[in-house]
Structure 1
């Protein structure tokens, strides 16, 4: 059984679409242009840095694909490390633990909400919110977003989304 594909109007600039290669950087661009972190986590998020190479105490050097900061309607602030995967790459348990360690070490006052994203196909993106529970990486939530033209979102789709609200 597969998850429902939530249709989102594709805001990726056509010139970016034309020249993107379908790799992790293309995935990160689609996430950024379509504000999928905001939509998925229900917060307002801002890209802080991408391709971050840094060090974490007791781990050493790590790399995070992209880091967002954000806030919710009550003023809570978040740090969101994003792990992007393309092709047959799998979510990395080690990378998730390193991302959380970085956030805990560098932003202890912010709530860490690690996210992993993966292309299912060119315009279908799977997103996972992850957590560490009993030293294990666990999935908090998974959603599939299909980037489409506005005309591809039917009244039936909107009725379904409305009833899910």
Structure 2
């Protein structure tokens, strides 16, 4: 078996059979295992070499386990770092509540999406909760819209991950599916942002090819005070 569906009520029935106390928020159990936590060893042990289980949405309060090729999107250590003058307001750095919120704000204030994609972009909405036909409810960390020099319009879903969280291939597929549903006349380009340590930010453009998420482009940026920019590096960029 390579995939099977289940519904949220199945968790309640299984908990009763196993005499396990249920948490108040069943949805959080699924969310944590989809995006933040590793599966228990009993599940991991059933994965063939080079494959892994993921949980996809299959409709309202319905999900499915799917066996897919092992796919870890991690920053490449050998990639060059690009210096960018830091335009982040100090108030944002002082009061950001968590890594994800801070990362989204830093990307926004420093126009890193524009720099990375070579487009003029605008942040449309943060933490957009919406639904996708056949998948169910999703949340997009931040949605940008953009335009290029030819007048082509773009829908750009951005997911943000702190240093310890992994980029979610499930989230990327959902974000792109929603863009195709909501904005069929726009070109969708999915971007993921991740902290590298405390000083660098990795940006990835991702796409879906043969039901697998692939990296289109990856760049690493370091935000520095303007006075500390390396002039030799700037000349080499040119």
TMscore range, shorter length: over 0.9
- Deviation, 1:22, is 4.8
Counterpart in 2 of 1:35? 111
Instruction: Give the one of 161, 165, 171 matched to 1:85.
Output: 161
Q: Does 1:45 align with 2:121?
A: yes
| Structure whose CA Rg is larger | 2
Mark the runs of 5 or more structure 2 residues left unpaired by the alignment: 1-76
- Root-mean-square deviation (CA, aligned residues, Å) is 1.0
Counterpart in 1 of 2:91? 15
Counterpart in 2 of 1:143? 219
- Deviation, 1:122, is 2.7
Mark the runs of 5 or more structure 1 residues left unpaired by the alignment: none
The separation in 1 between residues aligned to 2:103 and 2:175, in whole angstroms, is 18
TM-score (normalised: structure 2): 0.66
- Deviation, 1:80, is 0.2
TM-score (normalised: structure 1): 0.95
Q: Does 1:5 align with 2:64?
A: no
- 1 or 2 for the larger relative contact order (CA 8 Å, sep ≥6)? 1
Confirm or deny: 8 A CA contact 1:32 1:47 kept in the other structure. Answer: yes
Deviations 1:104-157 (A, max 9, x none): 000000000000000012331000000111111000000000000011212211
The separation in 1 between residues aligned to 2:140 and 2:225, in whole angstroms, is 31
